[in-house]
Structure 1
Amino acid sequence: MDPSAPILFFDSGVGGLSVLGPTRALLPNAPIVYAADNAAFPYGTRSEQEIAARVPALLGRLVERFHPRLAVIACNTASTIALDHVRAALEIPVVGTVPAIKPAAELSLSRVIGVLGTEATVRQPYVDDLADRFASDCTVIRHGSPELVELAEAKLAGVAVAAEDVHRAVEAMLDHPRGHELDVVVLACTHFPLLADELSEALPNVTQVDGGPGIARRISSLTKGQAWPESAPDGIAVFTAPPPKQLVTSLAGFGLNTVVIL
């Protein structure tokens, strides 16, 4: 394995940074390419057919250009819809992102858990299967919130996020007949951990669970024994449309110092 071969992270926007962060903690010298399909953002409001066609095609172009050792679909919506298509199209390992329903069910004492994601993710049969397999004795409250995705993007671009906007975006979960018993919520969109503090205020005494740390461990396992550079090179951020200037500044905090428009 060429030590300079990067790990490729892919998302519709900046949500995948919540997966990149814990991965860097485990693999600090790993070369990183982070790709955001912001020209089609947000995925959660697009059709399954569009995502299933667009994601494998884009990842194919990215693999051809950057020659990664491994690709990470750091997006729940893209993973639940297009993961199998991507794996069929690429010849490198592909790690997906799925809602952390199993650990949420293991943590819940009230047996009422929430699945907070995009509209596309929460309606997927894949989520039905996870709930049936790992949370069959739980009431699972699902809620799709495109507003939270937009708020997370705005926050990283330097825009102040109002607490009342976050509360309004999740209040439907609390309005459920058993919403007052909710004790664990699955952040089933990689954007949402970027709003962890705001969500804690909107959902007090509710434990948040997301897949980022588990995905990082999976990446570390798949690359065990592979060579890495002696020090971390500058990461590359790839966008499919020009990003806001303030967002580019924020990306430097994640080690992404070079910006490319695909």
Structure 2
Amino acid sequence: MTVAPDAPILFFDSGVGGLSILAPARAALPTARIVYAADSAGFPYGTKSEAEIAARVPALLGRLVERYRPRLAVIACNTASTIALQHVRAALDIPVVGTVPAIKPAALLSKSRVFGVLGTDATVRQPYVDRLAAEHGADCIVLRHGSAALVQLAEAKLRGEPLDPQVARDALHGLIDQPGGDRMDMVVLACTHFPLVEQELAAAAPHPMGFVHGGEGIARRIQYLTQGQPWPDAPAPGIAVFTRVDEKQEALRPALASYGLDRIDAL
């Protein structure tokens, strides 16, 4: 298949969390055209049913691919990836990269053999997480906790709003207060929103702990899948697309611009 140099890479999330995936990809491929799509009308995904997400995500990505003709799509959302990735791949005729919890690197890095998986409620209950934990952390205590409030904290941070430090403390203590949690030394940020508030989580930790997520690995995967393809000679402004545009999305303009997204479209 011939790919035009200006064919964009499409990133998709329920909100702004996927920016944590976009950043390392943009560093790896600095002239790539970027379309970043957020399902603001369906946000948040973490409290939705599996059936809702499995139906909604492929339909939206189909519309986005039809409009923007990307060379590749990235589901920059753990919840959507763990539930809808296979449905999306079946529906689209371009490569689709999913985002999965970074359980393997956490297991490799944990000295205490206790690590946490901090995500949305929908992600942490998925059988996919069970399989990753069994495969890579069989000798570890793997704690899980879902926090919808932490997703909202990340969105608020990018809108420039004041943040309540108790939200990060509560999210971490959802792991620490479980049996063995006092020995936890690594936390998997299993929601793409959470790397955006890693600083707040580190400040809330009662003892030093490491945080891991999948952004760098996804950047390498994008590079692999697009090797040999032509790229533009120079960077161009990216596009942010929202399924609903209101004052909350307008408040994101400065943060979006810092990620190279200078235009807002409505889907």
**Same fold at TM > 0.5:** yes
Distance (Å, rounded) in 2 between the aligned partners of 1:129 and 1:166:
27
Name 1:223's counterpart in structure 2. Answer: 226
CA deviation string 1:19-57 (max 9, x = no partner): 000001100000000000010100000000000000000
Matched, 1:241 2:244: yes
Name 1:256's counterpart in structure 2. Answer: 261
Secondary structure at 2:57's aligned position in 1?
Answer: helix
Flag structure 2 segments of 5+ consecutive residues without an equivalent: none
Question: How many angstroms does 1:170 deviate by?
Answer: 2.2
Distance (Å, rounded) in 2 between the aligned partners of 1:165 and 1:142:
17
Maintained 8 Å contact 1:145/1:170:
no
Distance (Å, rounded) in 1 between the aligned partners of 2:167 and 2:238:
33
Maintained 8 Å contact 1:238/1:261:
yes
Distance (Å, rounded) in 2 between the aligned partners of 1:52 and 1:248:
29
Matched, 1:66 2:55: no
Name 1:96's counterpart in structure 2. Answer: 98
Question: How many angstroms does 1:249 deviate by?
Answer: 2.1
**Normalization by structure 2: what TM-score?**
0.97
Alignment of 1:20-99 (within 5 A): 20-99=22-101
Residue 188 of structure 2 aligns with an amino acid whose one-letter code is V
Maintained 8 Å contact 2:58/2:84:
yes
Question: How many angstroms does 1:189 deviate by?
Answer: 0.2
Maintained 8 Å contact 2:145/2:171:
no
Distance (Å, rounded) in 1 between the aligned partners of 2:187 and 2:198:
11
State the percentage of identical aligned residues: 65
Question: How many angstroms does 1:162 deviate by?
Answer: 2.2
Distance (Å, rounded) in 1 between the aligned partners of 2:171 and 2:114:
19
Distance (Å, rounded) in 1 between the aligned partners of 2:229 and 2:162:
41
Distance (Å, rounded) in 1 between the aligned partners of 2:186 and 2:175:
12
Matched, 1:206 2:230: no
Flag structure 1 segments of 5+ consecutive residues without an equivalent: none
